[in-house]
Every structure is written in C-alpha cells, then in structure tokens.
Structure 1
Amino acid sequence: MNRLADKVALITGAARGQGASEAELFAAEGARVVVADILDDPGRETARAVGGEYLHLDVSAPADWEQAAAFVRESFGRLDILVNNAGIAPPRPARFDEIDLAAHLRLFDVNVHGAFYGIRAMLPLLELGHGASVINVSSIDGLAGVGSMASYVASKHALTGLTRSIAIDLGPLGIRVNSIHPGIISTPLVQTVGPARIARLQRTVGRQPLGRMGEPQEIAAMALFLASDEASYCTGAQFTVDGGHLAGPYREPPADPDETLD
C-alpha cells in the first residue's frame, strides 16, 4: 500500500478496461488520479469510484491536451505520472493495400500522436514532479509483425520508437519513459470484435505458454511498478505482459479437456 503516496497521475483512456484498472490500483496505492477519456459517463463513474477527477480528453487533439495541462496545473501544480493508455484498433483485419486511408491515419492520430502531444503538453508539469514517470501502453504488436494488421502494427512500433527516443531526451531531467506491451487482454475492446475474431483469439491464447487471456488488472500491476519509485532505474525499456506469446514456439493444445500436457 501507498507505493504512490502523494503522487499525481493522469491516465488516458481510463473510463474502462485497462485504464480503469490502472486508475483503481493507483488510487488504492495513494495517488491522486485524473481519469481522462472521451467516454464521459463511464469516465465520470470511474473517477467517482476511485475518488479522482474526470477530464474529457481527446488525445488526438492538441488543444485538448493544452486544456488538460491547465487543469492539472490549477488543480495539483505538478504531474508525477502520465499513462498514455488510450488507443484504438482497426475495425477489421485487411491486407495493407486494402486498408482504408482514413482509418490508417486515425490509428496514428490516436496511438502515436496522442502520446506525443500528451508528453509535450505535460512536460513542464512532469519536470515539477517527484521522479516523474511516463508510461506508454503499446502492444506486443509493437514488437513483431502481424499479417493483415499493417497500420495498427506500424502505429504500435512507432509508439515503441517514440518511447525509446523520448526516454533519451528526458533522462537528464530525471523523467523516466517506458512502454508496456500487453498481449491478448480481456478488455471491452477485445470483447466487441465479433464472434469469429473472438474464436480466433481463443485459439491463439490456447497455444500460448500460459494458455489464457490476460486481465486488465495484470497490466495495471505492471503500470504500478513503472509508476513507482521501485522502477527508478528503468527508462527507455519495453515490458511485455503477454502470457509468453512472444516467447514461442507455441505449445500444442490438448486434444480434449482431460488430456494433460507434459
């Protein structure tokens, strides 16, 4: 308890899923939490539940980030933790030359530019923070290629590169910048992809070493570590939370529920 005592945290995409779990855990560990999202009703509910503040924030809009910085400055005077959790996935898998251009650009606006705008806008407040930490939530798809997902994968690779480069820039200021790379996590985003893709995901996780989807709380636990002073010597690094997905090769699933694996 109190691993984040007196720290101020802003978490984007925090109305539900991983972001909401991060907000809940951070608040339980003593942080003052700003829940930021474009989903106003669930966002306000999450903020109420954790005893924090709610802020409407479209991460792809620089003006929204400037307003967010003004809010944090007026309310807290500094920022210790920035979690760039907000992100979107493509509407459906498609070969790269079949991807809608507007959808391609939107992925970059949210997944990459959103973090870039946020770190820039919050930098003066992070400089006033107590060993400030920036956490960019990327994906295992930011570390490997995936067929029929070129735009999404490229956006997550870009976020990985952004993390490493900004960590070099901000290290001399005492600000740490790291990325988390979740595997297949049971979030509202995953749960709404449709029965066919859910079945495909279930087959995939069945072949992973741990053989199941991750839970939002497991991503929140990694975010807590990176936000805390326990990670004081970690910067510019990538932390996978993927049930062994990238370890490979995958195991063969049992033929029936009663069969065991050696």
Structure 2
Amino acid sequence: MPDLSGKVAIITGCASGIGAATVRRFVADGAQVLGTDVNEANGAALCAEAGALFAVQDVSDRSLWPQIVARAVEAFGRLDILVNNAGMVSGAGIGDLDDKAMFAAWDQVLAVNLTGTMAGCRAAIAAMRANPGGSAGAIVNIASTTAMAPLPTDVGYSASKGAVRVLSKSVATWCAQHKLDIRCNTVIPGATQTGILEAAEQQAPGLIAAVAKTSPLNRLADPAETAAAIAFLASDECPFMTGAEMVVDGAMMAIHPGF
C-alpha cells in the first residue's frame, strides 16, 4: 500500500465517485487532504466523514485556484499532491444542438475539464516549488478512455479528455527541464460506477449494463479501484514515472471491439 504519511493533497471533485474514493484512500494512507467541489453539501459531508478539510470550488474559475492552494498551505504548511479530478460531460455530438446551445456546452465542458486542470497545475506548481526543503510534488490528472476512443455522442468531453493527456505530458516535461522534482501523470479510467453514470441510467434504463459489457471483465469499476492507482502515482513509490499514463479500464482498450 502506498505510504502518503506527511503528504498534503488537494483533490477536486470530491463530492462523489472517484473524487470521494480518492479522499478516503488518501486519508487512510496518511495524507492531510483538502477536498473541493461545487456541491457544498455533499462535499462537506464526505470530507467531514473522511477526516479532510473542504472548500467550495468551481475549478473553471481561474481566480479561485491561488486561494484554494493557499488554503491548503496555510492549513498544512506545504502542498505535495494535486489530483485534478473534477469534470463534467456535455452530452452533445457535433451536430446535435443548434449553434448557441452547442457552443455554450462546448465552452463549459472545456472550461471545467481542460482549463480548470491547467489552472490547477499552474497554481500547484507554484506552491510545490516553494515547499519547505525544496521543490517537490506530484500531480495526477484524471482523463478517460474517451481520450483514446472518443464518443460520437459527446464531442466536448472527448476532446477535453484527449487534451488532458497531452497537457499532462507538457507539464511533466516542463517541470523536468526546469529541474523541478515535480511529476505529472494521467490516470485513464474506464467505465466506473459514478453519480454521472447513475443519473444517466435514469434517462436511459439499461445503460449501466450496456456500459459494463464494454470491459472483458463485464462490470464497472468501483471508484476505490481507480483511487488506488491515483494513490500509487501520488506516492514516492514511482519517482521515475512522469509524463506517463495509467489505464484503469478492465481491459476495455485492450480488446478488438468485435470480440
């Protein structure tokens, strides 16, 4: 089990799903955690139950990021880990909506999934460079298998998650070239039992069963299984691993779609 004792982490999108599981896992592994979410009620309850701090945050609001990072540093004295987990779907293919609705959906999903992730990386790096004892840290950005096999039914989500993969590599190599001991990696989850999927099931009964069949394991991932991968990448167990991707998809991307 990765040891996160003494580490300080910010985890966005903590109110449910992978974010909630990651807060619980990090606290169990010894980290001090600040969880953030736009859903104040659920996020605050989750953090209180897990033993973490909570702050309301819309990750797409770039002006809030320095404040969120400062809160973690003020509370715990440093910042070692950022998990950029907050995200949303647009639910629209390229020709599904009129221009006004299409571009509104596109702008919103990219603001949250991509710009929010970039802004988080930028603010975290500034804090990690100033850590007591010298520059150090780990950033884990959460993408999706749609970054590798995009959905025709969600152009914004697919594009944003594909961009997160490349963003992470750019961040990783910039930190390496500037001789900062700050790593940046991506976790690519497959179909996972999350609130987003459960809500979609209400609109399209049978969706969860159909999505589960996209994995040869014929099931959805438990969010805790993805959180385990995030904890590994955030820990000191993999100091030479940066600019990399860890796929947690139950072999979804490893099999020909015809089989």
TM-score normalised to structure 2 length: 0.91
Whether 1:160 aligns to 2:165 is yes
Letter in 2 for 1:228: S
Structure 1: how far apart are the matches of 2:244 and 2:49?
Answer: 32
Contact 2:125 2:182 in 1 (8 A): no
- 1:217 is displaced (CA, Å) by 0.4
> 1:222-243 CA deviation, whole Å, 9 max, x = no partner?
0010011112111101111111
CA apart distance, 1:146: 2.4
Structure 2 distance, partners of 1:83, 1:102, is 26
Aligned to 1:77: 77
Within the alignment, does 1:175 sit opposite 2:174 as a pair?
Answer: no
Q: Does 1:135 align with 2:140?
A: yes
Q: Distance in 1 between matches of 2:93 and 2:121?
A: 31
Question: Would you say 1:194 and 2:193 are equivalent positions?
Answer: no
**Cα deviations by residue, 1:46-90 (Å, 9 ceiling, x for unpaired):** 111121111111100012112112212221221100000000012
Aligned partner (choices 188, 202, 213) of residue 206 of structure 1: 213
Structure 2 residue runs of 5 or longer lacking an equivalent are none
Aligned in 2, Cα 1:123/1:191: closer, same or farther, shift over 3 Å? same
Aligned residues: 251
Matched, 1:94 2:93: yes
Find the residue that maps to 1:116 and give its secondary structure.
helix
CA RMSD, 1 decimal: 1.8
Aligned residue among 120, 123, 128 for 1:126: 128
Distance 1:95 1:151 in 2: 8
Give the C-alpha shift of residue 148 in structure 1: 2.3
Match of 1:108 in 2: 110
- Cα distance, 1:143 vs structure 2: 1.7
| Aligned with residue 152 of structure 2, among 139, 147, 151 | 147
Does the residue aligned with 2:35 lie in a helix, a strand or coil?
strand
Structure 1 unmatched ranges of 5 or more: 253-262
Quick one: distance in 2 between partners of 1:200 and 1:19? Answer: 22
Q: TM-score, normalised by structure 1?
A: 0.90
Q: What is the distance in 2 between the residues matched to 1:119 and 1:79?
A: 12
Q: What is the distance in 2 between the residues matched to 1:146 and 1:94?
A: 8
Task: Tell me which residue corresponds to 1:53.
Answer: 53
